[in-house]
A and B are shown apart, each in its own frame.
Chain A
Amino acid sequence: MDTIINYVDNMFASLPKSTEMRQLRDELLANMEEKYHELKLAGKTDNEAIGIVISEFGNIDEIIEEFGISQEDDVATQTFLTEREVEDYLQVSKKSGQWIGIGAVLCIFGSAMFVLLLGLFEKGVMNGLTVETGMYIGVILLLLCVAVAVGLFIYAGMQLDKYKYISVKGNFELSIDLKSKIKTMKDAYQPTFTLFMIVGVVLIILSPAVLLTMIFFNEHLANFGVFIMLTLVSVAVYFFVYFGNMYGAYDKLLKGNAQRTKEKNEDRVIGAVASIVWPLAVIVFLISGFIYGLWYLNWIVFPITGLLFAMFSGAYSSLIRKEE
């Protein structure tokens, strides 16, 4: 009897999973079961009974035709990508990677500027202006940077929106030629990607070392140390975003429709976390500075965020891959 159930389920596998189809399947199966038992009672062997029942099932195309099921829904939207489309998509991914990267850099760099200005004013380099004035100038600069960054995030998101069918839905097919071409491009890109990921991680790990060295030699240079450190962190973050994004674009093209359900969540989650985490870091930086007066300490928010963010994206991606 299992053979018959399997057969019917296979026949129905390509049909929509609607209530109508489920009822029809159950009904057909009930008939076939009854037929099978009667054949057995009439003295047929198990194999004979199964053979007769299956041979009298008919053709599933009749059901498809009669019930007006269009199976084309899935297929029709899955178009073959042209070479032009692939190139455009890669181009836009590259650009949007730049914009998002620059946005993240601005968030960090703005804070670095702020710390630097504070240092300059404290030293009295800007003669005639008080530290307080310097602080306001710094904050205005920082807020400007964040505003531009948010603008860039939104702009990049809108650019990528056009390619949702590639990046999110995966509703496309690739010709074998194009696929192997993209594979070659990805393989060529792999060393660059790996190199910059390593450089980024090294930069983040080394950045506090620069600061500590400067403080060790001259305590008054702390502010400049922080500035340099944050600059290094921002460079690293740019590498993560830009090269990661580019590599991801190749990956998405090659993976296509298969195994995409989790992948699209991954993109969304990491993207969403990035656009929340960096402005949030700025907010924490400002609040701890203005309200609690922790200017000498709170810049640590940025390297920590950078590290946590890198750890999060790395761990999240590999966890998801493992689940597959």
Chain B
Amino acid sequence: MISSDVIRGYNDTIILYLLLEKQSYGYEISKRIKELSNGKYVIKETTLYSAFNRLLKKGYIESFHKEQTFGKKRTYYRITESGLLYYQEKCREWELTKEVINQFIREDYL
């Protein structure tokens, strides 16, 4: 299990990656995160919705309502043009971060 403190700066990246795959809604996204991380990262509801709010405000995602098959209305999210640019930026940032931090990780302790 990864602590939410460590991963904080990358919640946006994770969400944008999933929205790049396809438009989605809250629970589906949190389920996908769990799946793709093999259960090593479970995003909290409040963290997820704080991230949605932040990304919406910056214009990286947009929300819309969609009826589900069993009649319930859900808020769906999709990534925008500037969201894609931001995601690419974050990918490069991670590459750099990984490179820098790796310099300080002794492989014999891994």
Contact = CB atoms under 8 A, between A and B. Distances in A.
A290 interface: no
Interface stretch (A23-31, A192-200, A279-287): A23-31
A213 to B, nearest CB: 80
B46 interface: yes
A269 to B, nearest CB: 45
Interface string A45-66: 0000000000011111011011
A310 interface: no
A30 B27 contact: yes
B10 interface: no
The A contact surface, by secondary structure, is: helix
A66 B11 CA distance: 14
B46 A34 contact: no
Given A30-B26, A58-B44, A66-B50, 19 more contacts: A28-B45, A28-B49, A30-B27, A31-B45, A34-B27, A35-B27, A35-B31, A56-B42, A56-B44, A57-B44, A58-B46, A58-B47, A59-B46, A60-B46, A62-B46, A62-B47, A62-B50, A66-B49, A66-B54
Interface in B39-94: 42, 44-50, 53-54, 72, 74-75
Interface in A57-83: 57-60, 62-63, 65-67
Interface residues of A, number: 19
B30 interface: yes
A32 interface: yes
Nearest to B26: A31
B74 A57 contact: no
Nearest to A53: B45
Interface of B: 26-27, 30-31, 42, 44-50, 53-54, 72, 74-75
Closest 6 pairs between A and B when the two form their complex, measured CB to CB: A58-B44, A58-B46, A66-B50, A31-B27, A62-B46, A31-B26
A63 B27 contact: no
A57 B47 CA distance: 9
Contact of B75 (A27, A56, A65): A27
Given A30-B72, A34-B27, A35-B27, A66 B53 contact: yes
Nearest to A59: B46
Interface of A: 23-24, 27-28, 30-32, 34-35, 56-60, 62-63, 65-67
A239 to B, nearest CB: 60
B46 A57 contact: yes
Contacts of B47: 58, 62
Contacts of A67: 50, 53
A13 to B, nearest CB: 15
A65 B50 contact: yes
A236 B30 CA distance: 74
Contacts of A35: 27, 30-31
B19 to A, nearest CB: 16
Contacts of B46: 28, 57-60, 62-63
A57 B30 CA distance: 11
Nearest to B46: A58
A59 B49 CA distance: 11
B44 A63 contact: no
A63 B49 contact: yes
A57 B45 contact: yes
22 contacts: A23-B75, A24-B49, A27-B26, A27-B74, A28-B26, A30-B26, A31-B26, A31-B30, A35-B27, A56-B30, A57-B46, A58-B46, A58-B47, A58-B48, A59-B46, A62-B46, A62-B47, A63-B46, A65-B50, A66-B49, A66-B50, A66-B54
Contacts of B72: 30
B53 A59 contact: no
Contacts of A66: 49-50, 53-54
